[in-house]
Amino acid sequence: MCWCWHSLAAASPWDRPAFDVHGRTIILVDDGIATGATMHAAVAVLRKQQPARIVIAVPTSSPSTAEEFAAEVDEVVCVIKPEPFLAISYWYKHFSQTTDSEVCDLLAEFDRLFAVGSKGHMPAAEEGGKK
């Protein structure tokens, strides 16, 4: 499942600000794209926040879905586009779902390591003048 930050924030018990993505390059990563419904939703939410670029990075996608997204975002990076596609899980040796709890734990670790500010800014990244 592709977790848009806003979806996760709404689903989690945390009172967290959304990241400020305006003018930044955003890389959306997922385990693969089949129909693209969730990724379309994530792209739509991000577009409203005016990032500089949106890049989708996935290991596998159906060829037609990858082509569809190539017209919607700035770049699509996809390792394999097999035909027939079948399903995302078909192209993995081990394919288990990530729980909401695991995602929240990873985000807490991210906050601890990178000291994300109270308004969704990442001070360490901004100090070097890079976005």
Reported as a single tens digit per residue, the pLDDT across 25-62 is 999 999 999 999 999 999 999 999 999 999 999 999 99
| pLDDT at position 37 | 93
Count Cα atoms within 13 angstroms, Cβ side, for 107: 20
CA angle 126, 119, 41 (to 5 degrees): 95
CA distance 79 to 75: 13
Distances (CA, A) of 3 to 39, 108, 128, 130: 9, 15, 28, 25
pLDDT(7) > 60: no
Fold of 16-127: Rossmann fold (3.40.50)
Distances (CA, A) of 35 to 47, 60, 92, 100: 20, 12, 18, 22
| pLDDT at position 117 | 56
| pLDDT at position 114 | 75
| DSSP, res 128 | T
pLDDT(122) > 80: no
**How far is residue 107 CA from its own chain's centroid?**
13
**More reliable by pLDDT, 121 or 82:** 82
CA distance 62 to 83: 7
**More reliable by pLDDT, 20 or 26:** 26
| pLDDT at position 124 | 45
Q: Could you give the percent of the chain with pLDDT greater than 70?
A: 74
**More reliable by pLDDT, 1 or 12:** 12
| pLDDT at position 1 | 38
pLDDT in tens, 75-110: 999 999 999 998 898 888 888 888 888 988 888 888
pTM: 0.71
Question: Which residues share a beta bridge with 105?
Answer: none
